[in-house]
Structure 1
Amino acid sequence: MDVADWAVLLTAATAAGWVDAVVGGGGLIILPTLFVVMPGVAPQTALGTNKIAAFSGTTAAVITFARKVPMQWKSLVPAAALAGVAAAAGSAAVGLIDRDLFIPIVMVVLVAVAIFVTLRPSIGVTLATHPPTRRKALLVLGISAGLIGLYDGLLGPGTGTFLIISFATLLGTEFVQAAAMAKVINCGSNLGSLIFLGATGHVLWALGLAMAVGNVVGAVIGSRMALARGAEFVRVVLLVVVIGMVLRLGWQQFA
């Protein structure tokens, strides 16, 4: 790769870190860029290299959010560990499953998310009047971490978005709080996937570490903006990113 290629990848990693910190979906920026710059790269290698940047960025976002947002660590840490195991299992199955089958399903879910958030403007902007019981909260965390963590290992893009929507709709959590919780779970799933892909030789470490620097910068800026501007800002960015993901996946599927 030449200097221009490195510049493109570092810029993409920074932008992805910002998007991921606010609403998730940064993988739809980094992964296509990797395939454009390195057309011969294997899908598992692109995914593994991206996971270095993604894990670094989500870790930075967690630290930034945790300084301002109350975190239920006793619930979130086990959920993050579960997401890590599920993501590792998903990454192990990448070569066995036709990922094209997932794209239409993900597109339908994303369209439903966009419609739901548009028609229910109070979701994620105001707190639930009746907070969920601890049992329900643990159940939602566990199921979300397991299923979405598995998806993260298989495909990846939009993981944070799905987590935020799950917490906002099922737990009545405000978007900024939901984003903070999502980063903890996503940190676990990124680590689990990275460990598996790294152990099986599907990581370009030098490139991934360089991209991690840009991703961390973007993540810190994005999380600080989310904290400063509040839930309505996150809601708007969420809708924009969801629409962008639908268009990107549609182009990938049908072009």
Structure 2
Amino acid sequence: MDPEILGLLMLVALGAGWVDAVVGGGGLVLLPALLVASPTSPLATLLGTNKLGSVFGTASAAVAYARRIKLEPRLVWPTAGLALVGSGLGALLATALTADVLKPVIMVVLAGVALMVYFRPGMGTTPDPRLRTRNRALAAVTLAGLVISCYDGLIGPGTGVFLIIAFTALLGMDFVAASASAKIVNTATNLGALVVFALGGHVLWGLGLALGVCTVTGAQIGSRMALKRGSGFVRAVLLIVVLALLARLGWDLFV
């Protein structure tokens, strides 16, 4: 790869790490850049390389959040354990199936997310412990640990957004606490998918590790900004990322 292209990819990875740390969706930034930079590489190889670069940034952000935000171990760790399996299954599907059939469904879900966040300005701004029932916790663990994690292994971009919405809408977390929990789970989804891609020989290790250094830097900046500025800042970035995801998927489908 030409040094100029590698340098641009590393700058993109820095931005992806920032976006991923604040609200998720770093794959929206990094994966298209990889597709443009290496158009002859198999899709599974680019997905695996993206996971290698992403796992470092997500794990770094998870550590930064865990130092400042009190997590709920009985919720986060079972979800992360399921996510390892779910994302691995999604990665297996990614090596054999096309994800195009899922894109219209994802667009509908994202549009619903955007409307929910926009028309419910109070959602996620303050915690709502009344929603923390056993049935809702079970639903959140199942949704985040299996369904969303499988999507992450199969396609990827927007996983953090879906995790945050699951934790806020189902369990009444505020956006910062939800983002902190999402980073733990998202680290597990990245790791589970990475193992499957690596076993299949679908990882460019040198490139992925170089991108990982940049995502860690971006993640540290992003997590500190989110912790300092609070839920209102995370909500605003969330809306921007959701709209960008919609635009990207719409472009893929209709252009």
Write the distance in 2 (CA, Å) between the matches of 1:200 and 1:72.
35
Q: CA deviation at 1:143?
A: 2.7
Q: Whole-Å Cα distance in 1 between the matches of residues 138 and 109 of structure 2?
A: 23
Superimposed CA distance per residue, residues 56-109 of structure 1 (whole angstroms, 9 cap, x where no aligned partner): 011001100001000122431221121011111111111332211111111111
Does 2:24 align with 1:45? no
Alpha-carbon displacement from aligned partner over 1:218-245 (angstroms, at most 9, x marks no partner): 1111111000000000000000111111
RMSD between aligned alpha carbons? 1.1
Shift of 1:32: 0.7
The AA in structure 1 aligned to 2:162 is F
Deviations 1:180-219 (A, max 9, x none): 0000111101000001100110000000000000000111
Deviation at 1:134, TM superposition (A): 4.3
**Equivalent residue, structure 2, for 1:233:** 233
Shift in Å at residue 39 of structure 1?
A: 0.8
Q: Are 2:143 and 2:166, in contact at CA under 8 Å, matched by a contact in 1?
A: no
- Trace 1:101-250 onto structure 2 (pairs within 5 A): 101-128=101-128, 130-250=130-250
TM-score by length of 1: 0.97
Q: Which segments of structure 1 move beyond 3 Å, counting only runs of 4 or more?
A: none
Residue 85, structure 1, aligned to residue 71, structure 2: no
* 5+ residue gaps, structure 2: none
- TM-score normalized by structure 2? 0.97
Separation (CA, whole Å) in 2 of partners of 1:251 and 1:135: 38
- Residues in 2 aligned to 1:234 and 1:197: alpha-carbon distance in whole angstroms: 31
Identity across aligned pairs (percent)? 47
User: Which range moves more in the overlay, 109-118 or 71-80?
Assistant: 71-80
**C-alpha contact (below 8 Å) 2:131/2:170 kept by paired residues:** no
Shift of 1:135: 5.0
Corresponding position of 1:21: 21
Instruction: Tell me how far apart the structure 2 counterparts of residues 225 and 177 of structure 1 sit (CA, whole Å).
Output: 14
Which runs of 5 or more residues in structure 1 are unaligned?
none
Letter in 2 for 1:98: T
Partner residue, 2:71:
71
| Distance change >3 Å, CA 107–CA 41, structure 1 → 2 | same
Aligned residues: 255
